[in-house]
Chain A
C-alpha cells in the first residue's frame, strides 16, 4: 500500500515536470508560429528583398510609404556590437579578479554589488544616458549632442556586465582546485595559471555568459529608445543617432492601426529579431558542444 502511494506520487511528480518542460517548448513554438503568421501578410505588399535591403523606413509618410529595415538592422548590430566590445573584456576581467585575485572579504562585498546592478530598471539607465552620458559624450567628441549609438553601447554594456561577470565568475570558481594546484606546482605563475589553465577550463561558462549578455543587449528596448536619438537615417558610425529594431517596434506598435501592412511589417521586424537571437543561441550551443567534446 505504501509503495503504491509512493509510486503514484513519483508518477505525478514526473508528469508535472514533463508538463513544465513541454510547456516551455510549446510557448516557444507558439510565439514563433504567431510571429510568422502575423509577419507573412506584410509581404503581400512589400517585396522581401526590399524589406531587408532598403534603408528608408517611413510607414506613415504622406509622400511614399517606405518599409526598408536595413538602417535599423545595422543600428542594432552597431549598438550591440559596441556594447559587447566594452562589456566582454571588462566582464571577464572583473570575473577573474573576483575569483582569483580579490581577498575573500572584497569578493563578499563586490559580488552582491555587481548583482544589484542588474536590478536597476532599464528606464532609469536610459534616463542616465539622456542626462549624464549624453552631455559627457557631446563634450568629449564635440558633437553638440550625445544621443548616438555610442551612448547606447555604453549603457547596454553596463546592463550586460552583471550577467557576464556573475556567470563567468561562477564558472571560474567551478574549475576544480586540482587544476590550479597542478599548474602552480609545475612552476607556472598565478597569471599563467589564470590565463592558460583556468580561463580555458571555464570557457564554456564564459561563452554562455557572453551569449546571455548579448541576448540582453540585443533585445533591450527602453534604454536605447531613450539614449540613441532614434534618427532613421543609415548610421555613419558610433557617433550617429540611430534607431534600433526594438526601438522601432516600441515606437510604432502603440498607435499602428491593426491588421494593416504597417502592423504586419512591425511583426516582420520582430521575426527578424527573433531569428537573430535564435541564431546567436544556436551558435553558442554548437561552440559549447564542440568545446565539451574536446575536453572529454
Chain B
C-alpha cells in the first residue's frame, strides 16, 4: 500500500514537472471541416515552426461540428467548407457570438470513380441524378455494366451540404448512399469498389509525391450536356468558374480576431500561408473579391 502511495506521488510530481514545459500562453483551438483538416494541420505546423510560443490544436469532425463549436465557444476558429446556415447565425447571435468569416483557400470539389470505370466526363445534371439515386447502373450512362455504388459524407459535413445544395438541387440523397466518416475513407472505398462514385476535396486526390493517387479516376465535369468538361485540378478553370463545383474554404471567428488568432489568420491568407495552400493541392484565394472580403472582416 505504502509503495503504491509513493509511486502515485512520484508520478504526480513527474507530471507536475512536465507541465511548465508546455508552451506558455493560450492554445488556439481550431475545429471543423474534414476536407480542410490536413491543410490546416500543416498550416498550423508551419506557423508554429516560424512563430516561437504559438500553439495551435487542430481537430476535424466536419464543418457543422466546427460551427457548432464556435457557437458553443468550445473553439477559437471554425473551419468550414460551406457557408453558415441562417439557423446557425441566429443561434450564434442568441448566444452572444458574432461570427466573422474569412476565405482561406479555394477547393475544386472532385467527383471520382474507380479507374476501371471507362467514363471520363459527367454533366452536373448527371452527377445530381446519380446521387439522388435516379441512375442505378452505369450502363445508363455508357458501356459499363455495374451497379452504381454511392459514396458520400455524413450530414455534419460541409461537403455533404454543399453537394446537396449545388449539385442535387436541394433534393434528398439516395438512402443507399454509404455515408463515410471523411474524405480519406471515401478514397479507400473507391479504390476497392469498381462501381463506386464519390466526392472529395481536391487536396485529397494526391499521394505523397503530389501525383493523383493510383487507382482513382477524376472526372471532368461540364455545366451543360455536350458542353466542355473541366477537371478540378485545373487552376484556371476553377478560378474562372468554368469548373462548376468549386467553392471557398472558410475559417470563422467570434468577433474581430484578437492577438494570436489574428496573427495566425493574417499569416494564413498572406503569401506564406497561401504557398502552403497551393502545395497541398488546393487553390489560393487570389487578389479579387475574397481578399477584399477578408480585409473587411479583419477590421
Mark A residues whose CB is within 8 Å of B: 56, 58-63, 71, 130-131, 134-135, 138, 144-147, 225-226, 229-234, 241, 243, 251-252, 254-258
Contact = CB atoms under 8 A, between A and B. Distances in A.
B155 interface: yes
A156 B193 CA distance: 23
Nearest to B179: A230
A233 B172 CA distance: 13
Given A145-B196, A251-B154, 20 more contacts: A60-B161, A62-B165, A71-B175, A135-B192, A138-B193, A144-B194, A145-B192, A230-B178, A231-B175, A231-B178, A232-B175, A241-B178, A254-B62, A254-B64, A254-B65, A254-B68, A255-B65, A255-B68, A256-B68, A257-B91
Contacts of B72: 258
B194 A231 contact: no
The 9 closest A-B pairs by CB, nearest first: A255-B64, A255-B156, A230-B179, A233-B175, A229-B178, A62-B170, A145-B193, A254-B65, A251-B154
A241 B180 CA distance: 11
A56 B175 CA distance: 8
20 contacts: A62-B164, A62-B171, A63-B171, A130-B185, A138-B192, A144-B146, A144-B149, A144-B196, A145-B196, A229-B180, A230-B178, A230-B179, A232-B177, A233-B174, A233-B175, A233-B176, A252-B155, A254-B64, A255-B68, A258-B91
Contacts of A229: 178-180
A103 B261 CA distance: 64
B189 interface: yes
B248 interface: no
Contacts of A255: 62, 64-65, 67-68, 155-156
A58 B179 contact: no
A63 B132 CA distance: 12
Nearest to B31: A254
Interface of B: 61-62, 64-65, 67-68, 72, 87-88, 91, 146-147, 149, 154-156, 161, 164-165, 170-172, 174-181, 185, 188-189, 192-196
A252 B88 contact: no
Nearest to A134: B192
Q: In this complex, which of B61, B65, B87, B181 has the most chain A Cβ atoms within 10 angstroms of its Cβ? A: B181
Contacts of A234: 175
Q: In this complex, which of B62, B170, B175 has the most chain A Cβ atoms within 10 angstroms of its Cβ? A: B175
A29 B164 CA distance: 42
B172 A63 contact: yes
Contact of A257 (B88, B154, B178, B185): B88
B68 A257 contact: yes
Q: In this complex, which of B149, B171, B195 has the most chain A Cβ atoms within 10 angstroms of its Cβ? A: B149
Contacts of B161: 60
A180 B87 CA distance: 69
B149 A225 contact: no
B195 A144 contact: yes
A257 B89 CA distance: 11
A211 to B, nearest CB: 30
Given A138-B193, A251-B155, A255-B62, A61 B172 contact: yes
A251 to B, nearest CB: 5
A125 B174 CA distance: 28
Contacts of B178: 145, 147, 229-231, 241
B252 to A, nearest CB: 14
Nearest to B146: A144
B155 A226 contact: no
Nearest to B85: A257
Contacts of B146: 144
B61 A144 contact: no
Given A225-B181, A254-B65, A257-B87, A144 B193 contact: yes
